[in-house]
Structure 1
């Protein structure tokens, strides 16, 4: 619906009916009227560029109109455009209710830049993203001082109209992959897009899979290192998290500390994470399979100790393991949701008091307590919380199969998991790359961190035409 000039102020006010936080201020006997949200504007900008200058002007239309012709003011002709500007932190200025101008005064209060609590590092950068899109972009721009770093804005949410900034480096990114990301975002039909971890689930290729399909990070240095590999990064306004695409399974095992330390230490740490992956996934299930069906696999000395520890336990190994795993998950969730000091107390009470009491009461064996504890500790080694949570789900499935079919069930579960990983894709690129399809040299670089300068090839998954790295420090996650 088109608006006449006389109805601009009225239509805008009607659009914001029942918005008690909308501020309406009049000057010059209502010759000038301002509309804005105090929570979205910078008070200093408002006072210095709007309030004080207009108060000092002569009380006549020619003087006011002449001042409004300055470049910081933009003439707007429709109430719909005025509404959108006000919601984006602009101040709308109405002259005699017949002319409308806006000025950008966006400046809501934001928290300061701090260290990420979910992606901590021992050495290296300690900056993390915050909820301000402009500030997050500045953290990336400071690290990539080049015009080849491109930013494309895409709007998400029919009601929220959140802005997603897609970042890529010109000449490194595959434009077809970039077009796919844009198309996926444009195809999202949702009223409100709240945060990146929720948003990436809306653009998954396989929404019913329990595996995370996009790397999410709060660290600008991680974003920059992946941009150098030809990947695409997405940052959403009001979200402290960025997503990276395309992503493969092995990306979830990489940490900034791998690059910041000597290559031997970084490689050993990555191998340790791979070992922790197998431990947290199979250790409890293997215990259930052995104690249920395969006693012959246990050394004689250990068999006597195990039989003694299970002598008074009334439950089967399967039920016993499920009880302890569920208890561990309850303690984990309780510790995460409660305040820090109380959460630490819950962990101590749950891990020591409850575990010891359960053994003394004969409800579980002390051997299982050790097995479950090792599996839980191994899950904390994962640098990505998303992959750690997914492995916990897979672990329960393997425990059930091991309790029903023994080692055969465990083997079937592992095969099904590998088959599932091999069938997944991210932006039409193989999720299990470089294991499937098999690229032996690239797989070695995904697991080990070779010395800088010894590998100058970007990963094949990004489909970049510029496959040679310039060997600059920290630019490739496969170095």
Structure 2
């Protein structure tokens, strides 16, 4: 009875709240279209103690701006010094000479001030002068994507700096940057980058439309943005390639793909993407093609190891011990003689322990984290074997799986593979090798059903396109890489004119 009464009151409150919000939005929409005045703008920014207000009473000029968003030196040199000790006519001449834009509505001046401009109120008119220049983090190496041979600079949280890093690498007027906003409250800037004449126009339109349709209060990071525009948001696997490296962004743009940058985020995402991109690294292209090919094959093997080693241990010990050689079977029997748990519980216990150590090492300061990972793994593993909680063979399988997961260069895909591993271990515990085969088949079917910007996720394997295999599992020589990926649907397919 009480619950029904509470539910009825809650619904009534929500209805009243929605009506109030709609009324407020209509009022704000009407107010923001009015001509801006100094009094109205100051009322808009009431209780904002970081808002600076400077007045020149003899000239009837008021300046307002947010000090954390502007370059104080520019404000002083370009605006205040130009107005100070000037006459009204000189100020008029300065405004005309600098071609300072005029705001025609309260919304215009509000958005400009919040974007790092100084609002100038002079003779019943409102102007804005952009002097954006907040403190930003310096360009440094990426913590998540290590490059051994190649450029080491990485994106930062300032979108202007990130755009400059891309522009330095792609000096072309065909590089377009479309500016959008996301977040009803934060109004965060988003840039969609593409090379006109290479990127498919329909894909560009699709990407812009998806971002424009986002209706949330705030978007905190580019990875969050990717989840909001995913075609299958409930999938474990990332459908957009994320990177912190400007060199990777350059290669994606030149190949005909789009790149999305978000202000306040050091991550860029590219689309469309395929599963096989996530086993590729920038180092592959900076070394001899045979070395690059060997590394890619090694990463493919690493995926197999991290998915199957622990699951195979559980399957063999539980159901298929007859497949083991007699000597190894005796060793396993002796190792598990004191273990009180069935293989499935034993494996899950050790896998969870490894994940706890990994997470602890990632969250702690660098030096302490490395110590926890190494010492904790050795001490806990040895203690678990001596206490009879697990076998030596399982420790080897779990450690091999954990090490193999680190081989994948993309952090998001590495996390996805780690989660899928638990799924296969559980199936192996109930159905043995048949369960593993069934699980792998389900994963393959799921991957084949995924799309990235309406393109197949497993291309060029499914659908099969042999020309793209020269840059999939192998990293072919540059003279053989003549075509852009079919996934981009570009009309400009020719990459270069190099001949063998």
TM superposition score normalised by structure 1? 0.95
Q: Contact 1:5/1:99 (CA < 8 Å) preserved in 2?
A: no
Residues 23-64 of structure 1, C-alpha deviations (whole Å, 9 max, x = no match)? 112223582211101110011110001112211213xx4443
Q: 2:365 aligns with which of 339, 342, 355?
A: 339
Q: Are 1:370 and 2:396 an aligned pair?
A: yes
Q: Are 1:52 and 2:81 an aligned pair?
A: yes
Count matched residues.
Answer: 471
C-alpha separation in 2, matches of 1:351 and 1:6: 66
Q: Tell me the residue number matched to 1:82.
A: 109
Q: CA deviation at 1:69?
A: 2.6
Q: Tell me the residue number matched to 1:25.
A: 54
Q: Tell me the residue number matched to 1:176.
A: 202
Query: Cα distance 1:176–1:44, how it changes in 2: closer, same or farther (>3 A)?
Result: same
Q: CA deviation at 1:7?
A: 6.5
Q: Contact 2:100/2:129 (CA < 8 Å) preserved in 1?
A: yes
Q: Tell me the residue number matched to 2:324.
A: 298
Q: Contact 2:36/2:109 (CA < 8 Å) preserved in 1?
A: no
C-alpha separation in 2, matches of 1:5 and 1:252: 51
Moved more, 332-341 or 433-442: 433-442
Q: 1:162-201 residue pairs with structure 2 within 5 A?
A: 162-201=188-227
SS at match of 1:277: helix
Q: Tell me the residue number matched to 2:155.
A: 129
Q: Are 1:423 and 2:449 an aligned pair?
A: yes
SS at match of 1:447: coil
Q: Tell me the residue number matched to 2:146.
A: 120
Q: Tell me the residue number matched to 2:23.
A: none
C-alpha separation in 1, matches of 2:434 and 2:79: 75
SS at match of 1:75: coil
Q: Tell me the residue number matched to 1:219.
A: 245
Q: 2:128 aligns with which of 88, 96, 102?
A: 102
Q: Contact 1:8/1:78 (CA < 8 Å) preserved in 2?
A: no
Q: Are 1:250 and 2:281 an aligned pair?
A: no
Moved more, 334-343 or 318-327: 334-343
Q: Tell me the residue number matched to 1:310.
A: 336
C-alpha separation in 2, matches of 1:231 and 1:308: 56
Runs of 5+ consecutive residues of structure 2 not aligned to the other structure:
1-29
SS at match of 1:101: strand
Residues 128-155 of structure 1, C-alpha deviations (whole Å, 9 max, x = no match)? 1112222211111111111121111122
Moved more, 72-81 or 284-293: 72-81
C-alpha separation in 2, matches of 1:443 and 1:454: 11
Query: Cα distance 1:413–1:168, how it changes in 2: closer, same or farther (>3 A)?
Result: same
C-alpha separation in 1, matches of 2:276 and 2:373: 30
SS at match of 2:259: strand
Q: CA deviation at 1:2?
A: 5.5
Runs of 5+ consecutive residues of structure 1 not aligned to the other structure:
474-479
Q: Contact 1:93/1:100 (CA < 8 Å) preserved in 2?
A: yes
SS at match of 1:312: coil
SS at match of 2:492: coil
C-alpha separation in 1, matches of 2:33 and 2:156: 41
C-alpha separation in 2, matches of 1:4 and 1:94: 17
Q: CA RMSD in A?
A: 1.8
TM superposition score normalised by structure 2? 0.91
Q: CA deviation at 1:455?
A: 2.4
Q: Tell me the residue number matched to 1:477.
A: none
Q: Contact 1:309/1:365 (CA < 8 Å) preserved in 2?
A: yes
Q: Contact 2:200/2:489 (CA < 8 Å) preserved in 1?
A: yes
Q: Contact 1:205/1:425 (CA < 8 Å) preserved in 2?
A: yes
Q: Are 1:386 and 2:412 an aligned pair?
A: yes
C-alpha separation in 2, matches of 1:431 and 1:18: 50
Q: Contact 1:398/1:409 (CA < 8 Å) preserved in 2?
A: yes
Q: Tell me the residue number matched to 2:297.
A: 271
